[in-house]
A and B are shown apart, each in its own frame.
Chain A
Amino acid sequence: MSVLVYTESEGGKLKKIAFEVASYAKAVADQMGTTVTAITINADDVSELGTYGVDKVLKVKDSKLDTFNAKTYANIIKQAAEKEGTKVVVVSSSEDSKYLAPILAVGLDAGYASNVVEAPTSAAPFTVKRNAFTNKAFVFSTIDTDVKIVGVSKNTFGLKEKSASATAEDFSPSIPENGVHVDSVEKATNTVTIADAEIVVSGGRGLKGPENWGMIEDLAKVLGAATACSKPVSDLGWRPHGEHVGQTGKPVAANLYIAIGISGAIQHLAGINASKVKVVINSDPEAPFFKAADYGVVGDAFEVVPKLTEKLKEFKAQNA
């Protein structure tokens, strides 16, 4: 009967979103008067999950699972859900979880609601609030099936610490073969990804050319931020595709989004609106982005950005 939460890891280390979905699962379990079971795949130290309300961890370890495969992972989570007699499965909104959740939903005959932003507003009928219309509205939906899957939107529920600890047990599910084979993975190392970043620094056409991205990278480095760009910049080939954020690019749900030389087309705003605080630096005081911003600076990016980077360095040094 326990709530099952899939807590993701990268290179053996639990991701921050794992703690957010665990916190969410705890809130659901409290509403239902039950416990939380987490499943990890090739994570090393899982003890921290207890701090976020997990009672029991099912640890799966197998070198065959080193590379993510949606169908295989979905099957393993299904086996865990059946073993636990789970009625609610909680997953994140990472690209991996969004990939596996629909497969899992069919496997468990479960209704699935993605992009959920709050704890269920009611346990019966099971009602959740989701983002819709690319952050332009919310929708309240019920999940009407016996088993339910909730995909939690990143950076919405937050981390809720408890003073508790989790027990861990090994879980050895069968690992089925499937028809999609991952031949190679290219992942930038030593840089923060847009998906995991708390802060994202993004540049637009106002930067005039790819040779000027050094100052974006410098600012991002001081803040421990990921770098991103607007659609025209990726269309022009100034920056790689993977950095394009907006409606047809990657979604951003960071704590802080700094837009430099981006006018703020509606398609761009749709993709980044889930970010909490937006700072806009643009030389054009009429740029539409200012209307969607929390803080704005009208000025030449080539002067403002290096100055801001220097001042942030001083600030970081003082507050270290």
Chain B
Amino acid sequence: MKILVCISHVPDTTSKINFTDGDTKLDTNGVQFVINPNDEFGLTRAMWFKEKQGVTVDVVNVGGPETEPTLRKALAIGADSAIRVNTAATDGFAVAKQLANVVKAGGYDLIIAGRESIDYNGGMVPGMLAELIGANFITNCISLEVDGTNAKAVREIDGGKETVTTTLPLVIGGQKGLVEESDLRIPNMRGIMMARQKPLSVVEPVAATKETSTLKFEKPEPRGAVKMISPDNLDELIRLLHNEAKVI
């Protein structure tokens, strides 16, 4: 088994989101970028396979040179090598196309991505990738075991969960549950030093048609002030929810 973990380079949740260039670009000023949380759960699960089953784990990102620190962090966590496809990630399908090319070139048979990135929240790259390479696909995956070419997974569904079996090649849309929050690894000094020596190769993109284009961004309207209600006057809360908010 050869594992590829897809890493999105996204603004940390606590970052303030602002736009520049007439609201057409994310203002990266003061924004801290991190490994997409859903991808990090997948990466950590991949480390478990590496340690228990002795498999190779590579990471890939589609993006410009500014995303390399995020790939280095993935190497510091324990990935063997990193690949950066040198093109801006602006359309889900085009990204899936680039990833499909990397998967074919590298002969990967387990590809772990996050169920969605926390920037564009498109949630489409893993499924499109699976279709493009003719692999099986499981999203919202909260548990994954692989034995030879057979895989058993649990995925979250609306109101519950289901257990599925499938075979490699397989694409996973991962999330919390693949590993627990407490299993996530903070790179130690040795990991960071070793990451500097690990290969990070830059590959040029293949031709891919963009299927969607971003025109501009917009921030939501600032919300009104909270109405405080005394705990001794809950009738007033019920009245407001009924008459003003009309939700009960």
Contacts and interface: CB of A to CB of B under 8 A. Distances in A.
Interface string A89-117: 00000111011111101110011111100
A186 B162 contact: yes
A195 interface: yes
Given A102-B123, A131-B121, 13 more contacts: A96-B158, A98-B139, A100-B127, A103-B131, A111-B93, A112-B122, A139-B217, A139-B218, A180-B136, A241-B156, A270-B13, A295-B226, A307-B234
A270 B157 CA distance: 20
Contacts of A102: 92, 96, 123-128, 131
Contacts of A138: 217-220
Contacts of A106: 93, 96, 127-128, 131-132
A298 B229 CA distance: 8
B212 interface: yes
Contacts of B238: 308, 311-312, 315
B13 A180 contact: no
Contacts of A51: none
A50 to B, nearest CB: 26
Nearest to B139: A99
Given A138-B220, A140-B218, A185-B162, A299 B231 contact: yes
Contacts of A292: 223
22 contacts: A102-B126, A103-B131, A106-B131, A106-B132, A112-B212, A137-B19, A138-B217, A138-B220, A139-B215, A140-B215, A140-B216, A143-B211, A145-B211, A184-B163, A185-B160, A186-B160, A241-B156, A277-B245, A279-B237, A279-B241, A291-B226, A294-B226
B236 to A, nearest CB: 9
Nearest to A241: B177
Nearest to A136: B17
Q: Is the interface of B mostly helix, strand, loop or mixed?
A: mixed
B135 to A, nearest CB: 9
Given A183-B165, A193-B159, A231 B181 contact: yes
Contact of B242 (A134, A195, A315): A315
A71 interface: yes
Interface of B: 11, 13-14, 17, 19, 37-38, 41, 92-93, 96, 118-128, 130-132, 136-140, 142, 156-167, 175-177, 180-182, 210-220, 223-224, 226-231, 234-235, 237-238, 240-242, 245, 247-248
Given A134-B118, A186-B161, A297 B231 contact: yes
B158 A193 contact: yes
